[in-house]
Chain A
Amino acid sequence: MNPLPALRAALTRYRFSALAFVLLVAAGVTLSVAIVSQERALRSGSARAADRFDMIVAPPGSRTDALMTGVFLRPGSGQLLSPALTAALLNDGRAGFVSPLAFGDSYRGAPVVGVTAALVEHLSGGLAEGRLFAARHEAVVGAASSLKVGDTFHPAHGVHHGGEEHGGKDDLNAHEASLSVVGRMKATGSPWDKAITVPVEMVWSLHELPAGHAPGSAQLGAPFDAAHTPGIPAAVVHTGNLASAYKLRSAYNSKESMAFFPAEALVQLYAVLGDMRQLMSLLALVTQALVLLSIIASVFILFRLLMPQFVTLRALGAPRRYVFAVAWGFTALLVGLGVLLGLAGGYVLSFAISSWLAHLTGVALQPTLGEAEWLMALAILLVGLVLASLPAWHMQRVPLAAAMKEY
């Protein structure tokens, strides 16, 4: 049998209602898919961003705050490690390298971060262009920076705030120091792509702090002079192997500092994210169920309007299963189209949110349609197909003789 002609006729007759049903289902699926996809993109994006940060040492407090400071360049509490501990940490020979993180300046919305060349090399995995800084007035920019190799700029005092532009010649907060860009990092998929890295000694001296070395010294990086080293908000520790990583972690977990692997803080974040995703997914699924049920109820009403057509089919000799096929196909097609459209919409929405978040945070997010989304869409589709059988079953059960009189 071929129910398509009758199905096409029913869809044509009620095309606007059908379109509304499809869009309703699509909206529900879009939300569900986008939530799951986005949560996964956030996980993988943040994990990728933190991948090259072996260990972070920061003043005691929130690991999440320290993670946000070190990996995501969003300094928070303002607490610093003591100068003595800072010097000890930066000179600790058990680590592959230890880089301080020093904040306080920015240029046209991009943070200027004081680090060591070793960290820049490590994060970037070799530069995309130019060379590492070798003098205090040199800088290496992130892959997405608007500055080019050879450019000079005046960093301005103040911590960057999302998109606020300051720095530059006309900015009263600008330091007099002029820095030259000598290299560009490869893309890291993290906020560091927009950052400007400079020798930590430069940041300290710009803020009139001891510059980590004896006055007049032009030295960059370790060893730092304990007598001339200021406190820092956080340090990134590169550990050679797992054993030394745990030793260092243990050594710097004290009253004065905390040391942790970024994954530890991320796991806590993911737990919160996961809980939120579960809650939002549940809400989305409940919404989806309500949408499906309301559509089925509307289809019952719609089919009453289509009763003369169904009665005609039966009067002409169509078996009950033909009527069932037409009626079921009508609803099933709407649900199927809605789910497909919702999958596409979910991906597009997730992509849009990711782009927005990437612009906002610098964390590269790559949304995908994973197994969970496909399974969820499949589940919604299956439930929809089963529910579609209810009005179809009702239609094919209508007694023909009585219906002939009524319709």
Chain B
Amino acid sequence: MSQDAAHAGLGARAVHAFFPDAGGVPIRALHDVSARFLPGQLTAIVGPSGSGKSTLLHALAGIVVPQQGEIVFGQTVVSSLGERQRDAWRLAHCGMVFQDFRLIDELDALANTLLPAQFQRARLPAVLRERARELLALFDVPLRAGPVARLSRGEQQRVALARALLLDPPVILADEPTASLDPDNGQRIADELRAMAQAGKTVVTVTHDDKLVALAGQVLRMKSGQVMSPSPHTAAATLSA
């Protein structure tokens, strides 16, 4: 666990976000959303489609900048950073996992895992390559299987997990990580996310998967851009506690 994560939680403070519709009329995506996401905590954001779950996740990642309110990480107000700083912050602090994996099909598992490290380094240190190999081994992904498109869907999502963990970010943000997987692979990914939280990371996932919700220490139920219910188990929010 990084030093930041030991001291920082990720939080949304009275966040409002709007998107223009096709006619340019602003549509409310988030309305007065406040929430805390603590290190060692797995948070599941649930709710019907269009309720603002993914928008909140993207706001937490610094992708969406709220029109009002703040996204904070420790002492850093992420939403006040310029785009370049938010990119750098996301790269250093957030591991991103997506429903459809978003791997580069033509690259192999190792190259996909190493991709985030290429954004700022011309040459990768050997230690990073070794870490990527270790992560892939940890997730039982074959190293010499050629392009990732040849891997099974479960293996592809585990490559995405390895990619998210490569730079050891304190925060893992996962958008429907089990939605396109069969039950067994879905369970495995859910277990891995829980294990990451147990290892001290702040894990936030948007999901419709009951198994994943059942593992969460905090559940945010959203509707129409608002958090409708406080977590039913906020008291037990910190799994590692």
Could you list which residues of chain A lie within 8 angstroms of chain B, going by C-beta atoms? 1-6, 8-10, 12-13, 308-309, 312-320, 322, 400-402, 404-405
Q: Is the CB of B91 within 8 A of A318?
A: yes
Complex-state Cα separation, A313 to B92, whole angstroms: 14
Known: A5-B107, A9-B105, A401-B58. A319 touches B87 (CB 8 A): yes
Complex-state Cα separation, A322 to B83, whole angstroms: 14
Q: Is the CB of A13 within 8 A of B119?
A: no
Q: Is the CB of A316 within 8 A of B106?
A: no
Q: Is the CB of A5 within 8 A of B111?
A: yes
Interface stretch among B38-46, B120-128, B194-202, B219-227?
B120-128
Known: A6-B104, A401-B64. A1 touches B119 (CB 8 A): yes
Interface size class of B (residues with CB under 8 A): 20 to 34
26 A-B residue pairs with CB within 8 Å: A1-B118, A1-B119, A2-B121, A2-B122, A2-B123, A5-B114, A5-B115, A6-B115, A9-B106, A9-B107, A12-B106, A312-B102, A312-B104, A315-B96, A315-B102, A316-B163, A317-B87, A317-B90, A318-B87, A318-B119, A319-B87, A319-B119, A401-B64, A402-B19, A404-B58, A404-B63
Q: Is the CB of B121 within 8 A of A317?
A: no
Residues of B within 8 A of A10 (CB): 106
Residues of A within 8 A of B87 (CB): 314, 317-320
Q: Which A-B residue pairs are the 5 nearest by beta carbons?
A: A317-B91, A9-B106, A312-B102, A12-B106, A317-B90
Q: Is the CB of A3 within 8 A of B118?
A: yes
Could you list which residues of chain B lie within 8 angstroms of chain A, going by C-beta atoms? 19, 54, 58, 61, 63-65, 83-84, 87-88, 90-92, 94, 96, 98, 102, 104-107, 111, 114-116, 118-124, 163
Residues of A within 8 A of B65 (CB): 401
Complex-state Cα separation, A12 to B107, whole angstroms: 9
Residues of A within 8 A of B54 (CB): 404
Complex-state Cα separation, A9 to B105, whole angstroms: 8
Complex-state Cα separation, A3 to B120, whole angstroms: 10
Q: Is the CB of B118 within 8 A of A6?
A: yes
Complex-state Cα separation, A177 to B113, whole angstroms: 88
Picked from B105, B119, B123, the residue with its CB within 8 Å of the CB of A317 is: B119
Residues of A within 8 A of B91 (CB): 316-318
Complex-state Cα separation, A322 to B121, whole angstroms: 11
Residues of B within 8 A of A1 (CB): 118-122
New A-B contacts (6) at CB < 8 Å, excluding given A5-B118, A315-B63, A319-B88: A2-B118, A5-B107, A317-B96, A317-B116, A322-B119, A401-B63
Q: Is the CB of A400 within 8 A of B63?
A: yes
B180 to chain A minimum Cβ distance, whole angstroms, is 15
Complex-state Cα separation, A401 to B102, whole angstroms: 16
Residues of A within 8 A of B121 (CB): 1-2
Residues of B within 8 A of A3 (CB): 118
Closest to B166 in A: A316
